[in-house]
Structure 1
């Protein structure tokens, strides 16, 4: 086992080469990895868009939907991330990514065949196992294809998969759930030649949300094949500083010791975890908020969430990395203060957007907030990969994702779901009609006043939960600012 060199605290000159392969091929590979990450987030977040019909189909509460959106995915995704990252430090990363895409796409399609809450929970766990093999090896590949001077832009382009995946999940998930019937889906599958899907089940009585899972999951099987055939495995450490190229692989303990000496890394990780806790929690129920508070259909809510909020988030992710690369020479701590500024300014916009009654006033505020709060994402990856060399880069990213996903993704959706259910109960008790959460599910047995009280509590409980959560971005911004104090010392290569 080899120890890391030089405590990695002294910046090292950037290698003179410009990355692996031609500029055109690097762009192709980055585009392919972006498509992979888009499918990653389509399959991960499609359940957010389908929250209301799934909830109605299985007679669930918000806290149960929070479990499907959070722990069902986050636990194994988190705990498998580091072993897979260590495996990818020594083995073919392209094979790992291709196999991961195949597995999570298959599990997503199977979610459409779930017969109960428990079965759906288990299929979501299957999705998480596949997706654990995506981001650590992908970031390691990007770091070998791009030199440190352009990595912030490259990883920000890759990180566009988060908002773009959410956007496409909303567009297609909402449209399919709102418009495609079982008979329509059967005809479509026949037209595509997917007779195995047609013959596997009787489609005539299938609900729209089930069809959505199947139709967004199956194309990923083709994506996995394209990745394996078209993406080359680059020499490990190809674009690292010359002094670090060809060095022996380190063990996990050595890598972790290096990271312990990097306060920049931990402040960025803590800040990203808080932002993830807020973002995944609110994202789980944003479509539900638009349906409950503003009376939209699932398709209308999904389109607003996907096209408007998702597109603005994508602009924010790319802009953060692009700005960081452009201003890094004059402002070396840009990876710290740019995301901090975006998150703290987003808070008042979110509070206004989620509290105002008019949708026309709410949407511009939410669009601005979505764009600037996502400034944190690209820098998160850039710093995680920039404080270590190629021997431990996938491990550093995996540890970041371990913390971010276990505490952020794992806890955000269920906590906001629990908070929503608690606030809904309090609002119902204040209505003085003797109503409970279970009583509100029996819609056919409710009178007009009781139904109105249940509807109001359902909307207001979720609305106040989102407002409370949104304030957490200010806390996340503080940690990004603190990271700037040690960033110049901790980043391994100039311009990284």
Structure 2
């Protein structure tokens, strides 16, 4: 741990390295979604099985191990926890290229989840210690750009590699790249002083997980934001996983064309949406902390009709423009909400608090999103044929409305629960 105040240039370098690692985090998740078609054909899997691989296989241990690993990060070195996590999840990503059946693939995806469990919450906490409060939402939004960039990279690289070589090499190549990045990250990123930019009055000497849980449990804003994000993620992760297949089955795209189509949406819409969320929260939230919950709610309400119009449009070109705005709005919540969670507890508890939030968000959202849509698709195939998956994604948009309602309920409690 360094006691020397970080320079603005070094803070920017740290944020860039954390962003790069987070990009690999989502690249390794999304690459399965774009490769559904060749994997399904070779391994003879159903949409339900593929949805399980994209959801619960990854989320089960990813969600449950995040809290103990975050507690380790709060008590030891967060940079080391992130380094080891990156190595583990990248190794299991490479192993996915060797899978010969559903259960072997399921086991390797469990391993990816184990590794990624130690990446996000410690990163949130490090950013909070590298950046002062008035810059945190923007810093966390820049970090969260790893989501659209990683999703876009997974779609583009996965489609390109699968079309050029095969789907197995796509997993192997991106997995090895992550393993190579891990030692470089540890070499560059130093452990910051905990709570360096926070008043001494909100610091604590030692983290006790029971104390973190007790603080969060007593704050209604935590529960409302966590479940709102979870229902949003249920729809968001499901769409990210299945929309490439909708393009192939209902719009007649090739794998490569679908990867370019969805990759461009994620890269353009997603990056603008994530950064806009943090910028707006920092700009408007200084006088009203409720803005950190209000912004995501408004974004989700606008997302639903635009996504629905894109899914039902008969023109791929028109659908691209209809999809572009909701691809930004559906993840606008990341900067504001992750920042708000950081301010529900004292600084030394931030990684554990973030992991508690992510446990709810990921177990429900990531764990069930692709599985629910895949199961709906299988159930409706007899009626809708190749369009069954399109109808499954369309019906699932209702979860965004539930998310918006819960987030609006969080506005007033968040004003009372804010720390620091």
- Asked whether the two chains share a fold, i.e. TM above 0.5, the reply is yes
The TM tier, using the shorter chain, reads: over 0.9
d(CA) in 1 for partners of 2:414 and 2:88? 38
Q: 2:121 aligns with which of 136, 148, 158?
A: 136
Q: 1:28 aligns with which of 9, 13, 22?
A: 13
d(CA) in 2 for partners of 1:390 and 1:61? 46
- Residues 24-423 of structure 1 correspond to what in structure 2 (within 5 A)? 24-179=9-164, 181=165, 208-245=166-203, 247-423=204-380
Shift of 1:20: 4.3
The number of equivalent residue pairs is 417
d(CA) in 1 for partners of 2:50 and 2:19? 28
d(CA) in 2 for partners of 1:92 and 1:127? 21
Q: 1:483 aligns with which of 394, 406, 410?
A: 410
d(CA) in 1 for partners of 2:337 and 2:147? 13
d(CA) in 2 for partners of 1:377 and 1:37? 13
Contact map agreement 2:224 2:409 (CA 8 A) in 1: yes
Which range is displaced more, 384-393 or 62-71?
A: 384-393
d(CA) in 2 for partners of 1:326 and 1:41? 28
d(CA) in 1 for partners of 2:303 and 2:364? 22
List 4+ stretches of structure 1 deviating above 4 A.
none
Contact map agreement 1:309 1:366 (CA 8 A) in 2: no
TM (norm. structure 2) is 0.97
TM (norm. structure 1) is 0.82
Contact map agreement 1:20 1:239 (CA 8 A) in 2: no
d(CA) in 2 for partners of 1:291 and 1:44? 19
Shift of 1:415: 1.0
Deviation string, structure 1 residues 153-203 (Cα, Å, up to 9, x no partner): 111111111111000001111111112x3xxxxxxxxxxxxxxxxxxxxxx
Instruction: Give SS of 2:330's match.
Output: helix
Contact map agreement 1:163 1:314 (CA 8 A) in 2: yes
Shift of 1:426: 3.2
Contact map agreement 2:290 2:411 (CA 8 A) in 1: yes
Instruction: Give SS of 1:89's match.
Output: helix
CA separation of 1:151 and 1:97: change in aligned 2, threshold 3 A: same
Contact map agreement 1:20 1:26 (CA 8 A) in 2: no
Shift of 1:309: 3.1
Deviation string, structure 1 residues 43-64 (Cα, Å, up to 9, x no partner): 1221011011100111111001
d(CA) in 2 for partners of 1:106 and 1:163? 22
Name the residue aligned to 2:400.
473
d(CA) in 2 for partners of 1:84 and 1:27? 25
- Structure number with the higher helix fraction is 2
Instruction: Give SS of 1:332's match.
Output: coil
Deviation string, structure 1 residues 299-337 (Cα, Å, up to 9, x no partner): 110111112233211210111011110122344322111
The runs of 5 or more residues in structure 2 that have no matched partner are none
Contact map agreement 1:268 1:383 (CA 8 A) in 2: no
d(CA) in 2 for partners of 1:42 and 1:396? 25
The runs of 5 or more residues in structure 1 that have no matched partner are 1-18, 182-207, 428-456
Shift of 1:425: 2.4
Structure showing greater radius of gyration is 1
